[in-house]
Amino acid sequence: MINATAHTYHAEPTEEALPSRGRVGMVCLIATEAALFSIFVVAYLFYIGKSLIGPYPAQVLEVPMLPTICLLASSATIMLAERALRQGYGVLFKGWWFLTMLLGVAFLYATAVEWYRLIFTHHLTISTNLFGTTFYSLVGFHAMHVTVGLMLLTLVLILSLCGYVTQAQSERVAALSLYWHFVDVVWIVVFLVVYVIGR
Amino acid sequence: MAFEYPLARPQAEAPRLPLLVQLHDWVVTVDHKRLGIMYVCTGLLFFAVAGLEASIMRWQLAFPNHNVVAPEVFNRLFTMHGTTMVFLVGMPLILGLANYLIPLMIGARDLAFPRLNAFGFWLSLFGGVLLYFSYLGGEGLSGAGTAPDVGWFAYAPLTERAFSRGHSTDYWILSLLVSGIGSVATSINIVTTVFCMRCKGMTLARMPLFVWMLLVVAGMILFAMPPLTAAQLMLLLDRYLGARFFDTQAGGSAVLWQHFFWIFGHPEVYILMLPGFAAVSEIIPVFSRKPMFGYAAMVGATLAIAFISMGVWAHHMFTVGMSAMANAFFTASTMLIAVPTGIKIFNWLATMYGGKIRFATPMLFCIGFLFQFLCAGLTGIMLAASPFDWQLSDSYFVVAHFHYVLIGGLLFTIFAAIHYWFPKATGKMLSETLGRWHFWLLVIGFNLTFGPQHIAGILGMPRRIYTYAPGRGWELWNLLSSVGVAFQALAVLFFVWNVIRALRQGPPAGDDPWDAWTLEWTTTSPPPEYNFETLPEVQSRRPLWDLKHPHDPDWHHE
């Protein structure tokens, strides 16, 4: 009896569909980056209202609605680009991909304008007070991730213009777009912490 | 026969390549086995360096008012010793074992990202080199010191520009930042490999416990390393851009650094210990001739340890003045972690119980580990009680406790692992006689060094002092402690001799010298570059047992 059941068990060695390496690797990277950001977020929350001298957030911060919409919209456009590639529409893919990059650049431009105003009009730098320290490090760290994302997006665009990015590469493009979605999600957290709770 | 593992045998003895070509091959390799060996060698090299630093400190403390090194040199010694042992000895050793063994154990040809693997290794190595370069390059201001001297946990605001002039602290930050990125890269690689590269039939529930525990460790590194990296980035911003994170003059908090550091620091202890548990969980069954007792409980306990270890960090901070609520919480969570750890110890004992135990060197080290790690666990529970900790925090009692964890626990398991897998990696057997000398000298030396430190600590000796006055009752304990170092050094010399002797004239090991059960023993020793000619297929947790006992394979019973 035991032998019989064991034999049927043996006849079909268990086989699982293993997940793709690119996706799992990217999810791991995102997990570790999320832990990194959470420490900066905790530092920001911990130091809210602890600055000994001004300027204070309520005096100088303006809610960046338009840049936020740009960045969140870029998550949608990259999804459309990804789908176009999966279905084999190369031109459509390039179009959505380029639009994603434009939205990312617009976000960075808005950050630059905001920082220019804070530094030269309000004289808030990273060493002014705890608000400046935590603000520039958290927002700057996020902006750095947007910049890295844009570099990777540019690389893919160049490769696709050279004809290397085909339907066969859609799994790799999907892994990269996971990173871009992550950068967007981090912005939602940063937005809430800096511009809603911290103001 | 259900299936066979075709062995890949080298066709003929390949002609010996010139040294430069061989060296070049090692530098450009992306082979997980070579990188694993380089990781382990890096770890052992830094182990010798940090051990030497410890020996100088013990010589300085052997007698009251002893004058071997200057106080500022002593500060650098304990900082470098601690930093090196944790980041440049512990991490490379565990990542090296993971690198070498995981693909072999799950029936894969390499890690998921071989080039990322090489990248991770070289970052770790050069991070270590950068730390030691501080002895040459740290002199930013004349007289401002060379190597880091802020202790391995580098408490703020001592590390701020105002108190730590020159560049010594920058070397501490940057080297750990670099090697930390290397560890994270390798961890991403390990997790991906385990999830995506298992051979046919190797379900998660059939993975060797070694792979399970290293998977959990890699996951822990992903979450525990970033807090340190983030805190170090903040410190860099403070030091170079004038940020105020830990500047108490501007409202910054020194306690925040302690929280961030220990959110990393405590999981790190388990990151270092779990691979030791992992090796023991492979070795004890093989040398007891019984399958591991309580496989599922072991996996569960490992996950429980990983989970709880993320919530115990502030037991390092009882004396900093937290609220009663926080003290109670961290006391309770710290005691809680003893439960899964206890489960593991009972499972190992239950595996040995009734088995046909072979007392070979790897098994001896495992048994030594069981006893000594139990002592470490018991003093750990004592220190977990916050009132007790208020009395003994920052004393030699704590030093004794964590050396029982990291030497009596981790180092013994690492030596067990090296003795167990050395034949696989090199094709040569180590000598049992020399192995026994190594083991017994280390047991004597280790307990002689760190046992008396418990008493010195209870008698009030603080850690990190460079000397002490006579008449406090500390002399005998310190002298015993320093004498123990000689035994430990001798033990390590026996190990070195054993390795060199085995490499030159050791008897050939054969494919499976220990009559073991996991997949790595189906390959030749050393395994070919591609590991498996055809990828294996497994039906149970002990594929090699099934192969050796076709009339009674494990999958009849699992």
Question: What are the residues facing B395 on neighbouring strands?
Answer: B462
Distance, first Cα to last Cα, chain A: 72
Decide if B376 contacts B401 (C-beta within 8 A): yes
pLDDT at A69 over 70: yes
Q: How many contiguous H segments (helices) and E segments (strands) does chain B have?
A: 18, 0
Q: Which amino acid is at B482?
A: S
Spatial separation of the C-alpha atoms in residues A11 and B332, rounded to whole Å: 50
pLDDT average, residue stretch A177-182: 96
Tokens 């991070």 found at: B127
Shortest CA gap A132–chain B (Å): 8
At residue A15, the pLDDT reads 47
Tokens 């930042």 identify what position? B177
- 3-class secondary-structure state, position B200: strand
- The pTM is what? 0.93
Beta bridge partner(s), residue B200: B537
DSSP-based three-state secondary structure for B152: coil
Handedness of CA B375, B376, B382, B387 (dihedral sign): positive
Interface confidence, given as ipTM, is 0.92
CATH class of B34-556: mainly alpha
Give the nearest partner residue to B230 out of A3, A39, A133, using CB atoms.
A39
CA distance B237 to chain A (A): 8
* Res B2: pLDDT: 42
Cβ separation A13–B200 shorter than 8 A: yes
Q: How far is residue B78's CA from residue A188's CA, in Å, rounded to a whole number?
A: 44
Measure B112 CA to nearest chain A CA, in Å: 7
Q: Which of B337, B450, B328 is nearest to B389 (CA)?
A: B328
- Would you tell me how many other CB atoms lie within 10 Å of the CB of residue A37? 20
Question: Domain A25-197 belongs to what topology?
Answer: Four Helix Bundle (Hemerythrin (Met), subunit A) (1.20.120)
Q: Beta-carbon neighbour count of residue A17 at 10 Å?
A: 4
Q: Is B533 helix (H, G, I), strand (E, B) or coil?
A: coil
Amino acid letter, B269? V
| Tens-digit pLDDT string for chain B (558 aa) | 344 555 555 555 567 788 899 899 999 999 999 999 999 999 999 999 999 999 999 999 999 999 999 999 999 999 999 999 999 999 999 999 999 999 999 999 999 999 999 999 999 999 999 999 998 877 766 666 688 989 999 998 999 988 888 888 999 999 999 999 999 999 999 999 999 999 999 999 999 999 999 999 999 999 999 999 999 999 999 999 999 999 999 999 999 999 999 999 999 999 999 999 999 999 999 999 999 999 999 999 999 999 999 999 999 999 998 999 999 999 999 999 999 999 999 999 999 999 999 999 999 999 999 999 999 999 999 999 999 999 999 999 999 999 999 999 999 999 999 999 999 999 999 999 999 999 999 999 999 999 999 999 999 999 999 999 999 999 999 999 999 999 999 999 999 999 999 999 999 999 999 999 999 999 999 999 999 988 999 999 999 998 888 888 888 877
Measure CA B6 to chain center: 35
Give the distance from residue A117's alpha carbon to the nearest chain B alpha carbon, in angstroms.
Answer: 19
Q: Is B256 on the interface with A (CB under 8 A)?
A: yes
Q: Does A11 touch chain B (CB under 8 A)?
A: no
Q: Is the pLDDT score of A11 beyond 80? A: no
Interchain CB contact of B115 with A (< 8 Å): no
Residue contact A33–B198, C-beta within 8 A: no
- Choose from B111, B184, B195 for mutation: most chain A CBs within 10 A: B195
Kindly report the backbone phi and psi dihedral angles of residue B252, in degrees, each rounded to the nearest multiple of 5, phi listed first. Answer: -65, 165
Burial class (CB in 10 A: 0-12, 13-18, 19+), A1: exposed
Structure tokens at A25: 């690797």
- For residue A3, the chain B residues in CB contact (below 8 A) are 556
Domain borders along chain B are 34-556
Q: Backbone phi, then psi, for B428, in 5-degree steps?
A: -120, 150
Percent of chain A with pLDDT over 90: 83
Yes or no: say if B475 and B481 are a contact pair by the CB < 8 Å rule: no
Taking the Cβ of residue B223 and every Cβ of chain A, the question of whether any pair is shorter than 8 Å is answered with: yes
Q: What tokens were used for B346?
A: 């009972």
The alpha-carbon gap from B549 to the nearest alpha carbon of chain A, in Å, equals: 15
Q: State whether A24 and B192 contact (CB < 8 Å).
A: yes
Q: Transcribe B30-57 into DSSP letters.
A: --HHHHHHHHHHHHHHHHHHHHHHHHHH
Nearest-10 Cα torsion for B415, B420, B425, B426: 90
Whole-number Cα distances in Å, B56 to B389, B458, B482: 28, 24, 10
Chain B residue whose CA is closest to A124:
B243
pLDDT value, residue A1 = 31
Sign of CA dihedral A12, B3, B522, A24: negative
Residue with tokens 């060996």: B37
Residue B266 burial (CB count, 10 A): 22
Q: Which residues pair with B462 in a beta bridge?
A: B395
For testing the chain A interface, which of B110, B116, B222, B236 should be mutated: the one with the most A CBs within 10 Å? B222
How far apart are alpha carbons B27 and B368 in whole angstroms?
A: 37
Whether the link from the prior residue into B526 is cis, omega within 30° of 0, is yes
Interval A100-148: pLDDT, tens = 999 999 999 999 999 999 999 999 999 999 999 999 999 999 999 999 9
Cα–Cα distances (Å) from A137 to A128, A191, B214, in that order, read 13, 14, 34
B319 contacts B394 by C-beta, under 8 angstroms: yes
Least Cα distance to B290 among B370, B202, B374, B363 occurs for B363
Of B184, B198, B556, Cβ closest to residue A2: B556
Taking an 8 Å cut-off on Cβ atoms, the answer to whether A2 and B230 are in contact is no
The C-alpha angle B342, B515, B374, rounded to 5 degrees, equals: 20
Flag whether residue A8 sits within 8 Å of chain B, measured between CB atoms.
no
Distance of CA B177 to the CA centre of its chain: 18
CB < 8 Å to A35, chain B: 222-227
Dig out the tokens for B436 from the structure. Answer: 């026994």
Q: What are the chain A neighbours of B243 within 8 Å (beta carbons)?
A: 126-127, 132-133, 136-137
| Distance from the first to the final alpha carbon of chain B | 19
Contact status, residue B134 vs residue B167, Cβ threshold 8 Å: yes
Tokens of B324: 């009663």
B418 touches chain A (CB under 8 A): no
Among B181, B244, B258, the strongest candidate for a mutation testing the A interface, having the largest count of A CBs within 10 A, is B244
Q: Which helix (H) or strand (E) holds B109?
A: none
Structure tokens at B500: 């060199």
Residue B201 has what DSSP assignment?
Answer: T
Tell if the CB–CB gap between B223 and A35 is shorter than 8 Å: yes
Per-residue model confidence (pLDDT) at position B364: 97
Domain boundaries, chain A: 25-197
- Residues of A within 8 A of B197 (CB-CB) are 18, 21
Give start and end residues of each alpha helix (H) in A47-129.
57-60, 65-87, 90-120
Angle at A193 between CA A187 and CA A198, to 5 degrees: 140
Please tell me which of the candidates B231, B242, B250 has its beta carbon nearest to residue A39. Answer: B231
Residue with token string 């492979």:
B282
pLDDT reading at A57 higher than 70: yes
Q: Which residue of B has its CA nearest to A54?
A: B250
Rounded Cα–Cα distance for residues B432 and A43 (Å) = 54
Cβ(A129)–Cβ(A54) below 8 Å: yes
Other Cβ atoms less than 10 A from the Cβ of B471: the count is 8
pLDDT at position B138: 73
State the Cα–Cα distance between residues A27 and A175, nearest whole angstrom: 8
Best interface-test mutation with A: which of B183, B190, B196 has the largest number of A CBs within 10 A? Answer: B196
CB-nearest partner of B200 from A10, A15, A52: A15
